[in-house]
Structure 1
């Protein structure tokens, strides 16, 4: 679970509530696996941060942590999570495996396999803050993986080969995932989520519009 608070004082109160709940229900949080992170202001730094305790034990401060498979960092950059996706996907390895095992299959079967095994991009709908080069590295890997599986020349047109195969390109996948997340958030029964999604100054709203006006 994750606790979010605007100050260390508020975080201490939330932890106190959690400790009380755990005692009342015969539970106990694992102090060794618990840590806290302080988000840095944009273009700024964070000075000395008071200690935070759980069951009297000081919690370790970290600069990044993995939550539900997604890496969250103190500067709210998505570069670490994009790199996680690039490495975990190992597109070259997957396509090599598919190319070897299904070399005699039809073109359509290979395309179906590619869509099933190489288009996951887990949590890509949350990628809002990142450098162009970081995202391009993953895009190039995606295009090269398709070329490898289909036995196409290394420098053939990426947009042309994907269009001909009726397969989504890298940016098309990002747009669809972002639109899907926005739709689900706006339709959520949670009023807080709907309020955040409807704000014109919402960072994700800005990101969603930017993706669709390229």
Structure 2
């Protein structure tokens, strides 16, 4: 369960509503697992006023993992990209180790199934070039190791020969698919995002299809 509020007072009111609902239905919130994340605008507040739930202070954190996506107080996506890079490394090493003797077709099928997820990559709009390139290199090296290609072979030629989409193609495909779902959504909030051409998501999704791959090499 997530509560969003533009102010501390608003958040306190929402928590009071939750407390009343829980009391009326014989429920109780687990305060020890309840956390608060403050998204900072600019430098952000020096101190954050306490927020209480059932008489106990809610712990303030700088990062929070929600539905598998890592959110940070500075609204940057480097932490989530690092999460995806580590997951990719684990899956790639597992496949390379367990299926080393399989045919190339089997390896390619497994690679597509387990190493091309890039979960929530559509939401990556604010990140450093270092994090972006680290994930791209991890993806390229994972396929090299699985297919037993030389370490410094051409990534473009490698993926083209195997008919496997490269890193940039996957991001563009995921973004286009996500954008299409938003376009046909009836949710008022999602419709507002689609219609606002100045928001960071729309700008990033548009620019992603105009980027030259050489920009990130």
Q: Tell me the residue number matched to 1:25.
A: 25
What's 1:132 paired with?
A: 129
Query: What is the correspondence of 1:21-60 to structure 2 with a 5 Å cutoff?
Result: 21-42=21-42, 44-60=43-59
How do 1:1-214 and structure 2 match up within 5 A?
Answer: 1-42=1-42, 44-91=43-90, 94-214=91-211
Q: CA deviation at 1:100?
A: 4.1
Contact 2:88 2:139 in 1 (8 A): no
Could you list the runs of 5+ residues in structure 2 that have no partner in the other structure? 212-217
TM-score in terms of structure 2 length: 0.91
| Runs of 4+ that moved beyond 6 A | none
Report if the CA contact (8 A) 2:89-2:142 is conserved. no
- 1:62 offset after TM fit, Å? 0.9
Counterpart CA distance in 1 for 2:4 and 2:23 is 21
Measured against aligned partners, the alpha-carbon deviations of 1:171-212 in whole angstroms (never above 9, x if no partner) come to 211111122222222222212211122101111001100111
Q: Report SS of the residue matched to 1:162.
A: helix
Unaligned runs of 5+ in 1: none
Give the direction of change, closer, same or farther, for the CA distance of 1:79–1:100 in structure 2 (3 Å limit).
closer
- For these two proteins, the number of residue pairs brought into alignment is 211
**Partner secondary structure for residue 27 of structure 2:** coil
Q: Which residue of 1 aligns with 2:214?
A: none
State TM-score, norm by structure 1. Answer: 0.93
RMSD: 1.5
